[in-house]
Amino acid sequence: MAHILRRCPLDDELLERWVRPRDDLVAERLSSRTPPDGDTAATWTFEAVHGPVRRYRRTVTVEGDRLTVATDYALGIPYFGWLVALPFRRTLARPPAPAGDEGRQPWWAPPDRLDHRGAAILATLAAATLMSGYLGTLVTQTITYIADDFGLDTTHQQSLVLAFLRTGIVIALVLTTMADRVGRRRVLIWTAAAGSLAGALGALAPQLEWLIGAQLISRAMATALAVIIGVVAAEEMPKGSRAYAASLLAMSAALGAGLCVMLLPLADLGTGGWRLIHGLVILGLPLSFSISRHLPESRRFVAPHREVSLAGHGRRLILLAVSGMLLLSFATPASQFQNEFLRDERGMSAAAISLFTLLTVTPAGIGLVIGGHLADTRGRRRIGAVGVVAGTLLTLGIYFAAGWAMWAWSLVAGITGALAIPVLAVYGPELFPTSLRGRANGIITFFNVIGSVLGLLIGGVLADHLGLSRGLAVLAVGPLILGVLFVTLYPETARLDLDELNPEDRPALPPAHQG
């Protein structure tokens, strides 16, 4: 357990604050009080009633003219507790907020405080997202080196391979539908383990067909895993922190993708250097077993809920499906052809590409944090529109620039575009009831993949005829249309319970008493 000890001269104003129950990262209640009696010091003891802690105790002691505050606690955050240990400790080392400021959270914390269960689940989902991020970007980052190894000569041939791999979405759709029937937890663990195993087998591929088969399964598992993670997060987080949770999960996915980028220099070791990067995904297998020990079943899935059909939810489904197609028809080729562009048109080595990606994309975490916080506190629609439109235009600028300007465009594009990611991530789980949440989000992801495939195919053809920069300029029309849809057609879902957004999930009222 962590221990914080503070001693200071007795001051009436300071004492008044220290003997107030906390209501920030932790909500306390006064569990006992001992008044001064002769040589016995006055003490106040507080315990946690809500917060991301497994154990907690704060004792305030007044003895003579000395004030002593001792706080003992154990964070209930697996995997990533060390990341928040220091800011958490600094907050608890300060006295509770004065009257009128109760309930205010630090800037880095969720707008609505998480309890022990919620914090543990979010951290566990972040670990799973790290895995899905690595699996999902593996071929994206290494396709140009795979092409050299197996003799794919043109951008169009690479596009065909990437497009074919996305047909695994059919498998992913089956798995996300299963999550509505057999449970989120079971399918999440299955997909994490199977995706890691299949991805590692691809590293042994003697021919392209073997690699395509292994990656088809691995990417299908990664896609289903990402969808189910989003569903569980929406079902477990408080209403004022769903976008915040989505931003943290997006950062974890980016960390997984960034890990793949950091390993990219291994591809320069030889023609088969990319196999080392693929082989490391086997480490996801023990992580999957660890996740199974920390992740409970979603409370909303366990709770009684009505089984409903897609009828009546078509408008929301079409809106989100079309939105994903519009965005990814540009975003996917812009991302997947970037390494090819940097290597062939800007003459960058694998190490230089890795450095470019890490230095310009990593700061996008700033946009994720800001976007998640604003989406929870100010609303989803405007943040989504600004992030999509500005991010698209700035990303396009990368492909028309060179030298330091290209680095600057990429840096600003990453931060600005990231504003929309938490918004896009929460709408899908929010707008469908429990019995449809997995299936509906699987269908939306299916159309996202169609948008990606169309973008890759059309983008590959346009790149071979017009050049990559002009080809992407044509595809950028899609996200600009999405920006308009955000403002005109999307509902506002911030700070609304899932039951308010989906009346089908409200508990049925008992029949009126017949007198």
- More confident site: 161 or 508: 161
| Reported confidence tier of residue 115, pLDDT bands at 50, 70, 90 | very high
Q: Name the least confident of 78-82, 212-216, 292-296, 379-383.
A: 212-216
| Reported confidence tier of residue 156, pLDDT bands at 50, 70, 90 | low
Report d(CA 474, CA 433) in Å as an integer: 37
Alpha-carbon torsion angle 154, 159, 160, 162, nearest 10: 130
Amino acid in the structure at residue 256: G
Question: Contact at 8 Å (CB) between 15 and 69?
Answer: no
Q: Name the least confident of 106-110, 349-353, 469-473, 492-496.
A: 349-353
Model confidence, pTM: 0.90
pLDDT at residue number 397: 93
Among the listed residues 438, 220, 194, 193, the one whose alpha carbon sits nearest the alpha carbon of residue 291 = 193
* Angle between the N-to-C axes of helices 208-236 and 242-262, in degrees from 0 to 180, rounded to the nearest 10: 150
> Could you count the other beta carbons within 10 Å of the beta carbon of residue 151?
8
- More confident site: 352 or 72: 72
Among the listed residues 333, 338, 322, the one whose alpha carbon sits nearest the alpha carbon of residue 455 = 333
Three-class secondary structure of residue 8 per DSSP: strand
When the pLDDT of each residue in the chain is averaged and rounded to a whole number, the result is: 91
| Reported confidence tier of residue 128, pLDDT bands at 50, 70, 90 | very high
Question: Contact at 8 Å (CB) between 227 and 425?
Answer: no
Q: What is the DSSP letter of 56?
A: E
- More confident site: 425 or 162: 425
| Reported confidence tier of residue 514, pLDDT bands at 50, 70, 90 | very low
pLDDT at residue number 148: 81
Pairing of strands 27-34, 42-50: antiparallel
Q: pLDDT by residue (tens digit) across 17-50?
A: 999 999 999 999 999 999 887 777 899 999 999 9
How far lies 222's CA from each of 129, 175, 197, 253, 264, in Å? Answer: 9, 11, 11, 11, 20
pLDDT at residue number 457: 83
| Reported confidence tier of residue 159, pLDDT bands at 50, 70, 90 | low
Q: Return the CATH number of 2-75, one of 2.60.40, 2.20.25, 2.120.10, 1.20.58.
A: 2.20.25
Please say if the pLDDT value at position 250 is more than 90: yes
What is 116-495's CATH topology?
A: Growth Hormone; Chain: A; (1.20.1250)
Q: What is the DSSP string of 137-158?
A: HHHHHHHHHHHHHHT--SHHHH
- More confident site: 500 or 208: 500
- More confident site: 461 or 235: 235
| Reported confidence tier of residue 271, pLDDT bands at 50, 70, 90 | confident
Residue 224's H or E segment, with its range, is: helix 208-236
Please say if the pLDDT value at position 515 is more than 60: no
Distance of CA 213 to the CA centre of its chain: 27
Once rounded to an integer, what is the mean pLDDT over residues 393-416?
93
Once rounded to an integer, what is the mean pLDDT over residues 75-102?
93
Written as six digits, the tokens of 406 are 């290209």
Once rounded to an integer, what is the mean pLDDT over residues 184-198?
97
Report d(CA 12, CA 226) in Å as an integer: 53
Please say if the pLDDT value at position 512 is more than 60: no
Domain positions in the chain are 2-75, 116-495
Interacting residues of 404 by C-beta distance below 8 A, sequence separation 6+:
none
> Could you count the other beta carbons within 10 Å of the beta carbon of residue 106?
13
Once rounded to an integer, what is the mean pLDDT over residues 223-239?
97
Among the listed residues 424, 422, 428, 423, the one whose alpha carbon sits nearest the alpha carbon of residue 176 = 428
pLDDT at residue number 267: 84
Q: What share of the chain is helix, strand, coil (3-state, %, to 5)?
A: 65, 10, 25
Once rounded to an integer, what is the mean pLDDT over residues 54-63?
96
Among the listed residues 268, 271, 272, the one whose alpha carbon sits nearest the alpha carbon of residue 202 = 272
Report d(CA 277, CA 142) in Å as an integer: 8
pLDDT at residue number 452: 85
Report d(CA 238, CA 236) in Å as an integer: 7
pLDDT at residue number 154: 62
